[in-house]
Structure 1
C-alpha cells in the first residue's frame, strides 16, 4: 500500500533538489576517496561510531529530502527490527557468551533505512559525465601505479585505505591487484561493476566511444583482480560490452582483443597460478566458505546447539564471507527474506526498468561477502541511483 505520507518536503521539491548536486558529490567522496585508515591502522571505536553516524545522517537526508516512505515497507522494517530484538533477548538467555553489540545493529539498521530511499530529483547530465571522467582518471592512474609496483602508491594506499583487517590491503600488493581505494579485490570488483553500468548507460545515451573505452578498462582491471568474484563480474562485463556494440566488425574485434588478453593472462604462469589458487583454495573462494571445512560451517554447528543470535556477537562465529549465512545466523530465514525483499524494493523503486542489472549481481556478490551492510556500499548505491536516474530522465532513449 502506497502511503500518502509526505516526508517533510513541504511540497517544494525543486528547492530541495538544489542540494542534490552537493549531496551527490559528498556520497561520491565518501564512497571513493574517504580514507578508511590512518598510517595503515584501522579506526578505533570512536572513529567507527562517528563513521556510522555520518552514514546514518547521509541516509536520513536522502530519505527525508528526496524520498517518499512506503507504509508497507515501513511495517516490514519495523517487524524485522522487532524480531531481531526478540532473538537477541532469547540468545542472551540461551548462551551466556552472547553479548549485545552496536556493531551488529548499525549495519542492519543503516541498510533498512537506506531501503526507503527513492531519489525523485536528478543532477545535470554534464555533472554525471564529469564525475565519471574524474573517477576514471583516478582509476587509471592509481591502478597503473599499482600494476607497475610503485612504492609510492603502495605506501599511500596501505596507509590510507586499509580495510576489514590490518593485513587485508597490504596482501593485495603481493599480487599487484588493481584495487584502487577499495581495499580488497572482492569489493573492488563489485564497485568497478557499478561504474561499468553507469558507463554503459552513458555510452547508450551519447554514443561517445570514450564511455566504451572506460567499460573495457574496467573489464581489464576486473580480470587482473584475480578472484572468483572478479571472474563472474568480468564475464558479465564482457557480455554487456559485446551486446552494446552495433556492428559485427566491432564485436569481432572485441572478441579478438579479449581472447588475446585472456590468453596472455593464462599463459602468464604467475597470473594463471593466482587464478588456479583462487578457484581451488580451501581458505578463500567458494570452497573456503561453503564446504564442510569452510568458514561458514561453524555458524551452522552453533545453530544446532543454540538460538539465532539477533544483534549479539558470539566469539568464533563468522560475520562475513556470506550475506545469506550472516543474516540467517542473526535472524533465521525471516531476516534473510526481509533483507533481500528490502533490497529488491529499493532497486525496483529507483531503477524500475533496469533494476535486475544491479539486483542480480548484488545477490551473486552476497555469496562472497555481506556487501549490502558494508558502509561503502550504502554510499555507492546512492551515487549509483542518482547517476542512473539522471541519465535516464534526461535521455529517455536509454530506458
Structure 2
C-alpha cells in the first residue's frame, strides 16, 4: 500500500523538460573542431572555438539534394584564417559533417553544399547587364555541380545531362533548376499563391466553352515561376525566355507537374505560328528575346489563334517597363485582362508610381481610337522588400 501511495505521488511530478536540440550546423562544427583542429593553449582555444561557432550560419534552405547557406556564411575573420590554412581534405570533412547533420533533421537528404551570394546585376568583369540573371556569385563548397569549362552561351543536350539539378515544391507545384546556371527566388512564393487564387468568371467552364481557350503570356518566364501558376489554372501559356538553362529548367519542371510543354528554338523559330500551336501543348516556350513577342502573338491573333489572352506577366527586376506597351497590345481581343507588372519601388513611392502607371496606360488607350478598353490599376502588391 505504501508503495502504491509513493507511485501515485510520483505520478503528479512534472515531466522533465526535453533538452533543446542543437542546431545541426553548430553540432557539425563542434564535431569538426574536436576531430580536425589542432589544440591551442586553453584560453586561446576556447576563444577560437567560441568565435567559430558564434560566427557560423545557423540557417539553411534545402533544395534537394542541395543545402544552401545564407549570404556571407564562413567569411568572418576567424573562419577566413582557419579555412585559409586547412587543406582540402580538412575543409571537405567540415562540409560533409554539415551535410550529414542537416540530413538528420528529416527535411531531406542533402549531398551538396553552397552559399547563396545573390545575383549580380552585371556580368563578371563587364559593364553589361546580367539579363540572364546567372548566379555567378554562388559559392560551391561541396559536391559536383557539373562542368563549367566548355559550356558557352549555347549549352548542348549533353551539357544539360551533365549538370547538377535541384528542385523544390511550392504551393503544390514542382520547380527544377541548375543552381550553377540559373537563379531561384524563394520570395516569389506569395505572389505565385496570389495568382493561383484568381477566381474570375472567365475561368469558369461555361465561359471556356463559349470563348474557347484562355491564354496567358509570360514575357520573362525564367524557370516557370509564374508560368506554372497560370498552367495550374487551366490556361495555355506562351512564354519568352533568353536563358537556355532557365528554359531547360522550365521544361523539366513542367514535365514534373505533368504538363505538356514545347520548346521553340533554333530553326523551329522560323515555322508558321499555326504549326507551332497545333500540338495543343499546355506551355509553349520561345527561346528568344521578348522583343519578338508582340509580332509573334500578332501573327497568331491574325489567324484566329491566342486571341483570348487574359494574363500577361512581366516579372523582371529592377523593372519590366520596356515590355509594358507590348503587354497592353497583346490583350486587345480579351473582354478583360490583367497585366502583372513588376519593378523596384520605394515603399513611400508606391502610390505615386501607381498614379503614373495609370496615366501611361490611359495615354496608350487614348492614342488608339479603335481601342475601347479602359485601363485601371486595380491592385498594388508589395511582393518583396530588402
| TM-score tier after normalising by the smaller chain length | under 0.3
Q: Which has the higher helix share?
A: 1
Higher strand share: 2
Task: Give the structure-2-normalised TM-score.
Answer: 0.26
TM-score normalised according to structure 1 size = 0.25
Higher relative contact order (CA 8 A, sep 6+): 1
Q: Select the structure of larger CA radius of gyration.
A: 2
